[in-house]
Amino acid sequence: MPPPSDAEERAAPTAGTASRLLRAWEGRGPLACALWPLSWVMRAGVAARHAAHRVGLLRSERLPVPVLVVGNLVAGGAGKTPAVLAAVRALQARGWRPGIVSRGYARNPSAPPVLLVDTDTPARDAGDEPLLLRLRTRVPVAVGRDRAAAGRLLLARHPGTDVLVCDDGLQHLRLARDAQLLVFDERGTGNGWLLPAGPLREPMPHGPLDVAGRVPTRVLYNAAAPTTALPGQRLQTGLAGAAALAEWWAGRPASATQLAELVRRSRREPLLAAAGTARPGRFFAMLERAGLAIRPLPLPDHHGYATLPWPAGTPEVLLTEKDAVKLRPERLGTTRAWVLPLDSALDEATATWLHDTLARAARPAP
């Protein structure tokens, strides 16, 4: 395999900083132990916020349609976006008309605080994942730090929407919800400690998740097998194929035939693969399992692509969808960029539970 390029070497330290923290959360070594006292501050804050909502000091807003929240208890990306895509598809297959609300992480501070995302909204204003969700699902998407306000805007502009899927809103208690999908990946809960000593955003739940007084919840594992003691189902994911960047922007589906052609070409010369995600190694491993020979280029999560991170004259590059939303085809010159999307699906039992739970929660229009 060829040695890494200068661009790869420049990107590696930045991406490596996050990787070192993720590795520290896997065990209870010196760094995690040094941060452990601060995790009790986090625990106290979480407990106080939940208590304030229970006694009514802080209020949750209930919107006029059922709300599903897809989130995780761990920091660092566990696969929420594939789970949101799978949930939207499952709901559409059962006759629902979903919309999506999201915070829109790392949005431009000068963008409107609440924004309806369209297919031509810049990623810097929408956020990477919300624009990706809009392009992939073609359902209404609204972003805002206040998810309830984002939901109100979406429903006002798209009154036919009859269910909202909230991307990464598990800890956003201001938005009342009727069902939750809790996503874990191969890391499980890491060392079991709260931030910043470990990956947990809040303590793990104890006892059954579906009991009176709790929001109905199901667990999804974006991993080969369960990684916590909580019972759950595997999120079914895999490469959908490959599409040229221009075709992907036009909404054309990825092609298994094109993926097979890339596999053949990579055997002659490994292809550069770029990933600006929380866990780029997951993308690279998936490419290798598909038979691709690659030169990995890990980039920081939410990498902005202000400049192209690969050498001028690079003939071809493989991209995640999260990277593709920040790269218009005309920027790439002679480099041929290929997007390799993920397909994801819920198992039948989870999809049926989701439909039944939200149907019970559906409220008639006032």
Which tens digits make up the pLDDT trace of 345-358? 999 999 999 999 99
Q: What is the mean pLDDT of the chain?
A: 90
Confidence label for 9 from pLDDT (cuts 50, 70 and 90): very low
80 is in an annotated binding site: yes
Q: What is the mean pLDDT of residues 245-253?
A: 93
197 is in an annotated binding site: no
Tokens standing for residue 323: 């990277």
276 is in an annotated binding site: no
Between 3 and 363, whose confidence is greater?
Answer: 363
Give the per-residue pLDDT at 6: 35
pTM of the model: 0.89
Please name the residues in contact with 244: beta carbons below 8 A apart, sequence gap of 6 or more. Answer: 258, 329, 336, 337, 338, 339
Confidence label for 265 from pLDDT (cuts 50, 70 and 90): very high
CA atoms within 13 A on the CB side of 29: 10
74 is in an annotated binding site: yes
Cis preceding linkage at 196, omega within 30 = yes
Phi, psi angles (nearest 5°) of residue 356: -65, -40
Which letter, b or e, does each residue of 109-133 get, where b requires 16 or more Cβ atoms within 10 Å of its Cβ?
A: eebeebbbbeeebebbbbbbbbbbb
48 is in an annotated binding site: no
75 is in an annotated binding site: yes
Lowest-confidence pick of 68-72, 74-78, 228-232, 256-260: 74-78
Domain ranges of the chain: 60-236+345-361, 241-340
76 is in an annotated binding site: yes
Q: Decide if pLDDT at 302 tops 90.
A: no
Is the Cβ–Cβ distance between 72 and 228 less than 8 Å? no
- Work out whether strand 243-244 and strand 294-298 pair parallel, antiparallel, or are unpaired: unpaired
Q: In whole angstroms, how far apart are CA 348 and each of 98, 159, 223, 233, 236?
A: 19, 29, 18, 10, 11
151 is in an annotated binding site: no
In the sheet with 179-185, reading across from the earlier edge strand, the strands are: 114-117, 141-144, 98-102, 163-167, 67-71, 179-185, 217-222, 233-234
Cα 324–chain centre separation: 15
Tracing tokens 């209404």 back to the chain, one arrives at: 140
Q: Is the dihedral of CA 161, 165, 167, 173 positive or negative?
A: positive
Between 141 and 302, whose confidence is greater?
Answer: 141
Percent of the chain with pLDDT over 70: 92
Q: Decide if pLDDT at 77 tops 80.
A: no
Lowest-confidence pick of 63-67, 97-101, 234-238: 234-238
Confidence label for 32 from pLDDT (cuts 50, 70 and 90): very high
Confidence label for 335 from pLDDT (cuts 50, 70 and 90): very high
Give the per-residue pLDDT at 304: 86
Is the Cβ–Cβ distance between 346 and 87 less than 8 Å? yes
Give the per-residue pLDDT at 4: 38
Between 209 and 102, whose confidence is greater?
Answer: 102
Q: What is the mean pLDDT of residues 81-98?
A: 97
Give the per-residue pLDDT at 205: 84
Confidence label for 207 from pLDDT (cuts 50, 70 and 90): low
How far apart (Å, rounded) are the C-alpha atoms in residues 76 and 57? 31
Q: Domain 60-236+345-361: which topology?
A: Rossmann fold (3.40.50)
Q: What is the mean pLDDT of residues 80-88?
A: 96
Q: Is the dihedral of CA 313, 136, 354, 90 positive or negative?
A: negative
Q: In whole angstroms, how far apart are CA 129 and each of 152, 224, 244, 276?
A: 20, 24, 20, 12
